Amino acid sequence: MSETANEIRCMLIPLHGDRLLLPNAAVAEIIGYRDPDRIGIDESWLKGKVNWHQRELPVIDFERMIGRPDVAPGIRQRIAVCYAPDPQAKWPLYGIVAQGIPRLLRVNQDVIESATEGPHGDSAIEMRLFIGGESLMVPDFTFIQQRLAVV
């Protein structure tokens, strides 16, 4: 088996105080930030929706979803367009606000120093991985999809 067969190509999504680690296959595209149009639901984590390739996408602020306070947007903001785990979901695609330019990262078991799982089912964080002395959050895509079902 080759070295790359045990690797997962990922994307590091910068946030204000942390970084998200997403499998590359979960990300459709990184687009420039644009102010989302408001949606009638008053949820602090829901920024609104944007048009992407003639589709409307809800845009979430992951940091607000995990209970962190709102922070002023940076000039390098982007939106990571992500696939929902269930393509039949109400929102098969959604955006996550990135506070900078995402970058690619190859992850294999050798680079993971430790991993801690989050509380299943009631948190947007599935686990934290420690790679290169840095703590990276892995989102719970099913939790996010469930939250978006009411939008």
For position 131, which CATH number holds?
A: 2.40.50.180
DSSP 87: T
* pLDDT confidence of residue 1: 42
User: Which is nearest to 97 in space by CA: 144, 146, 143, 135?
Assistant: 144
The Cα 59–Cα 76 span in angstroms is: 16
Task: Specify the higher pLDDT residue, 40 or 91.
Answer: 91
Residue 132's domain comprises: 3-148
Q: Which two tokens stand for residue 124?
A: 């947007």
DSSP H or E segment with residue 15:
none
Q: What is the pLDDT of residues 2-35, one digit of tens each?
A: 455 688 999 999 999 899 999 999 999 999 999 9
User: Is the per-residue pLDDT at 124 higher than 50?
Assistant: yes
Q: How far apart are CA 146 and CA 41, in angstroms?
A: 15
Residue with tokens 């892995």: 138
Count of domains for the chain: 1
Say if residue 121's pLDDT is above 80: no
Other C-beta atoms within 10 Å of 52: how many? 18
